[in-house]
Amino acid sequence: MSDQRAERLLGAFACVVLLMIMLMVVSVIAKAWPSFAHNGLAWFGSGGAKTVDAQLADIFNSPSGAKNYVYELRAWPLLYGTALITLSSLVIGLVFALLAAIFIVEFAPKRLQRILEPAVRLLAAVPSVIYGLIGVLVLVPFVGNSLISTERKQDVIYVVQLSGNSVLVAVTVLTVMITPIMVALIVVALRAVPPAWTEGSAALGVNRWRTIWTISVRAVRPAIIAAAVLACARALGEAIMLSMVSGSLGFSPNPLDGLTFLFEPARPLASTIVEGAEGFSVAPFGQTMYAFGAVLLVSSLFLSLGAHHAKQSLRRYGLTP
């Protein structure tokens, strides 16, 4: 094969990939458009006469004929559930991942290090459905039977049923899922810090913790942000595990409820799409699902962009591994 033809062939493959990506963005947004167009900005708002689940049921049962389609939706409880679960597990996971990464790089004895690194890789590779299974068959019954008292259940019985499928379990399992991703990325970045920097600090009499905290961690801050952003994208798109443990109820947990808040159910966007899988043939319902997908897609686009920028500033210091 001639060289030019090879270049063109390989280039064609690359163009196919690029084309599919653009097609994806355009077609998801185009499919989602009717749902946004009918609701305007109120789509993102709260309120409406009914709960989100009732609104979705109305859309699903809307009469046939394009003119009669029902689109009315106030998606706030779903957006709020997504943000609540994603951000809380991100914050907990980030602290945990940073400490664990410092431990692996700096303080862990060699033998423990040899166990920890495969353990991190394993945790990152376990399929989400297995996490979901453990969550729903072990943690949910535990929370439902042992942590939630009968009085607490009675208190809110007219508002929501507390079964153990809760924000608490969702955040716990999601934290376990996204922490290893962050640990792996932060470890790689910390290892790329030139030894001369930390050695210089140690030579000035700074202790090891101070050295790694003020020199290494500070130098890899962009990598930490990139790791957090990638983990956030992962958490945002997690559908199956959350639909198993989070209660599958379009409910907004209220922080003012005190401890009960932790035990209230919620349902993120991605899980809503999975649970609506069988309704895609109903046009308005399918379009509403695509609207959820479009929100996820656009947010993950922005997250990828953020991660890219963070990595760019890392490259400026010459710290790319």
Partner 1 sequence: MAAGARRAPRTRAVESTATWRRSDRVALALCWTAGIALCAIALAIVLFMFYKGIETLRPALLADRPAEDASQREAGGFLDPIVGTVLLTVMGTAIAVPLGVATALWLVEYGRPRALARAVESGIEVIAGTPSIVLAIFGLAFFSQQIFSFLSFTAEGNAVFGRSFFIAAMMMSFIALPLVFGSTREALLAVPGHVREASYALGKTRWATIRRVLLPSIRPGIATGTALGMGRIAGDTAVVVILLGATLRLDAVGEAPIISTLKGTGSTLTSYVYNNSPAGEGNAYDKAYAAAFVLLLVVIALNFTVDLIARGRKGTRWT
What residues between 36 and 95 interact with partner 1 by CB under 8 A? none
Judged by CB under 8 A, which of 83, 147, 188, 240 binds partner 1? Answer: 240
160: contact with partner 1 by CB under 8 A: no
* Minimum distance from residue 308 beta carbon to partner 1 (Å): 6
**CB-CB contact of 190 with 216 (8 Å):** yes
Judged by CB under 8 A, which of 21, 37, 157, 159 binds partner 1? Answer: 21
> Which tokens is 74 given?
């106030």
Amino acid letter, 140: V
Amino acid letter, 188: V
Question: Which is closer to partner 1, CB of 179 or CB of 260?
Answer: 179
Question: Which is closer to partner 1, CB of 47 or CB of 65?
Answer: 65
Question: Which is closer to partner 1, CB of 2 or CB of 146?
Answer: 2
Judged by CB under 8 A, which of 157, 209, 254, 255 binds partner 1? Answer: 209
**CB-CB contact of 186 with 227 (8 Å):** yes
Judged by CB under 8 A, which of 54, 112, 157, 159 binds partner 1? Answer: 112
Q: H helices within the chain, ranges in order?
A: 3-39, 52-60, 76-102, 110-125, 128-134, 140-142, 150-155, 167-191, 195-203, 208-211, 217-219, 221-237, 240-245, 260-263, 269-275, 283-316
For the chain, how far is it from start to end, CA to CA, in angstroms?
Answer: 36
Judged by CB under 8 A, which of 207, 214, 254, 312 binds partner 1? Answer: 207
Question: Which is closer to partner 1, CB of 174 or CB of 289?
Answer: 289
Q: How far is CA 217 from the centre of its chain?
A: 24
197: contact with partner 1 by CB under 8 A: no
* Interface map 115-134 toward partner 1 (x if CB under 8 A): xx-xxxxxx-xxxxxx-xxx
